[in-house]
A and B are shown apart, each in its own frame.
Chain A
């Protein structure tokens, strides 16, 4: 009788205790990854692509058992609207989050550079899937908590200038955003030209975020005798340039060789028919729109499940998705290697990972103590928008 009673009472209690313990371990066991990007920026699609890339990777990782013996990864998204002050506040807040191992940044380099001191003070692992300012990784901090799987200006400029040179544009005009990012590109251009003459910059013009016209700068460049415009900016001002150029007679439209951030938005939608009237090429690192590899299809299946995505052509900033996906997978490897959510250990692990066959390339290894750039100049190529609005590599 007593045994019966013990069994009748003890079994449900044991079940409840196990369930409660399991629930508690599940809540406490989450490993967090932050995304501090420009979600509130009305034209930016890069943050969406980054978020989707991270979420696809997290879905795969969690479905395959998570990290650290079954702990789920979870993404915490913060909207910095591309404003450095907001980004800094979010970095500070995320740095105080228990079991947060790393934070992805967005497209805007300025929102990252401003927070580098804070990031290193709080030992926050920064994963950069887009921002191209060289100074983000080449920041001088030891240990360096910034890791990038993306394009950097030091590779974008040679790609643009080399392409211009190949097309016979001996004289170019620089049209740069008036930010630390634009100035960094300017310095890189000057270094490039010093090392590789054969092309000259006949005029350098600057514009600001929010400028409604860049025609004054464009006319100055054209008047200086440039054969082409090298543009460094993001999609709103890039769209202004394209629309204004398209309004000019065809003979007055110079070819535009652009940095890649114009692809950080739905550029075809922002420019409309004007896009077809301007010879616009830009830097890219991965042609997701036309990649038919097995890995891409696996990702698309997950994306379809998560976002009802039928094709990657729906992704307006495909590089962001690809970079973020690979970087998340690399982070998961580092967490496993660190065996902990301790960010210092995760940072160290990132520098000592083994080979990883990613979506974009084979990383062997992704990072080293001396190299926090996962990609290389070989990954950089020029692309243009096709008539279907998709990004296609220029072969």
Chain B
């Protein structure tokens, strides 16, 4: 786990430490429906901490929730808003906030409770909060489609990503539509945890990736059987809830028609939800491998030419070099189906016939 850290890694680490500053920590209990038990998990933790002697207050409970009589509580303002002034004056070590997605009444200092929480954390008070997935802004439309119920979402996803700790409060779903909300919740939590994991590995200067989240890198060139690669990539990224990336290593002197084919391939990838990366590098395979390692790629998709007896020299070919150079990743080799080329416009066929005449270079689809 120890290797020399690059200056860039050291800088990132320093920046991360600065950003933390003296801000309080945030822990969030995330549930997928009312009644999933997140509030009681949160208050249980509060009681355990108080029993261990931590200086802890409750700053917000749900209007319907029973008061937690065993814990010190700072009364909420009219309309349910947190009395931020009192909390800051009391300045406990830890503050419990139920129903993070609460909208404050008009005239409050902040329109939303999560902003109150941000202010409390800024005063170096730790916050433990609870929220249901349906109140996260970015999921609101999807949740509304699933449940048919309108909610006023208030908490941006980025706020959850900023949490120091997130805990999923899980239980078996009782209705089918809840199963979907549950998946959204689990996958959001997984992404947040993944970000923490990558951050942790970066912080400790560990190269490579834990490979827990699947990341698929499609290597595109004007000659790729792009449609097959992108369709498969999208399918696998969807099924694994992974990340899809399409990369092209810039090549000098592409013909105009090859340039057009390449652009349309990249556009197809973009529409499939891929992140597009144009890489530079004299050696295309080196550039792809370096990029793949930086991004924690787990699978590389690459095409190989079928127009010549390229396999006679696989070891020296780009595909062969990629396979030998990327022993820590899966390499999926796609044949280039020449018969399909007309789908991509005349440029591709022209490009290929040009290549066919030049045995010994550029035939395999090395990027």
**Are the chains A and B members of one assembly?**
no
